[in-house]
Amino acid sequence: MTSSGFSSQARSQPAKPAQTSVHAMLAHQEPSGAFLASRDFAPYHYCWLRDGSFVAFALGLAGEQGAAERFHRWVARSICGISGSVQEAVSRRQAGGSNVVGSMPPARFAVDGAVCHDDWPNFQVDGYGTWLWSLWEHISRFSSDGLIDELAPSVELAVAYLEAVGLDTCFDCWEENADAVHTSTLGCVYGGLRAAGSLLGSDKASRRADDVRGVIESQMTLEGRFVKSSVSTDVDASLLWLAVPFGATRAGSPAKATTAEAVAESLVLDGGTRRYPGDTYYGGGAWPLLTAWLGWYRSATGDLAEARRCQAWVEACFDPSGRLPEQCGGRQRDAASYNYWVARWGPPAADLAWSHAMYFVLWDQLQDQAVLPSPGDGLPAARAAAPNPPIQ
């Protein structure tokens, strides 16, 4: 399948913004299989495991099997290339030692799979869990059983890494706050370990996933909702990930709904969704990908009117050439911090692959109003989505 249109597994007449997003995601893929986070923003000329895994998931929904598999093979090669670093980190933790931030396996790679040697925070655990989840979704959707045999060495490395360090402090998904355990990161770890239980037939990974969920439920709540981290009681839009797609909370959990309402009420900017209250990155504007995520959650819980409102807001962020930015409204919200980042890095990313991915996921969710219960998550399942590993 080329970037000229959708495959037969996708909608035969996609809406123009959805088709635009598929083309944009494909245009961000390098020959190696990596997805550049953004082509028009030099600081993002890398591939993050987290961002790329969601792009691959969205392209799977669009029927772009080949592009998704090229990414998964790129991840596998990249992880094999750092096998020594992974094994060293695992052995150190198993022996009771502490993580050494500067030598931990990275979550961001150059597009050729090389490790980036710079002072930018790169010790993020969430990407490894997200990749395992995305790979499981892909294999389930396309019946690509042979792919897991091909990629098994890298999958085993990623699983061992998550089992060893998944409950430890690290940088969060926004590359901040290295001194904390982050709730959304735990959700990614949970999703990855549950996926690994099915990918490898590993009871150990499934049991470790249950341990992670226990920590989320027992240690990461306050006053009936989930908190940003072990050191911050703030709300963070990434907390939505606990529900969709990872199902890291039990069916009927009141904290799940309460947290989503806190996101919707506390992080709104002109109808879009911000990251967290104190955000100052390029003014702390509203992110299309997070607004789409809130829409995904609303769709999954049956609030289709609010899901469509989120979809319309994101669609209004497309520029005439079809670009979808990382965030909107930051200059108006906080001109001083916006100008600080412009002076440091130039204008913000005007076209972000991850933004296109989450828009397409939301668009796909809203194609059918009839949805079915998802096992263990308590939320309706995605239309035509591959099943998550069963949650007992």
* Residues classed as catalytic: 172, 175, 326
Distance between CA atoms of 155 and 132, rounded to whole angstroms?
A: 7
Q: Indicate left, alpha or beta for 289 from its phi (over 0: left) and psi (-120 to 50: alpha).
A: alpha
Distance between CA atoms of 377 and 248, rounded to whole angstroms?
A: 7
In a 10 Å sphere around its CB, with 0-12 CB exposed, 13-18 middle and 19+ buried, how is residue 265 labelled?
exposed
User: CA 70, 239, 391, 126 torsion: positive or negative?
Assistant: positive
Nearest partner of 57 among 362, 389, 361, judged by Cα:
361
Neighbours of 88 (CB within 10 A): 15
Contact 173, 203 (CB under 8 A): no
Distance between CA atoms of 371 and 43, rounded to whole angstroms?
A: 40
Distance between CA atoms of 344 and 120, rounded to whole angstroms?
A: 14
- Cα pseudo-dihedral 20, 26, 29, 34, rounded to 10: 110
Distance between CA atoms of 170 and 125, rounded to whole angstroms?
A: 7
Residue type at 219? Q
Q: What would you measure as the largest C-alpha separation in the chain, in angstroms?
A: 56
3-state secondary structure of 190: helix
Helical segments of the chain, H only: 16-27, 49-61, 65-81, 83-94, 126-142, 145-165, 183-199, 203-219, 254-266, 288-300, 304-315, 330-333, 335-345, 353-365
29, β-bridge pairs? 35
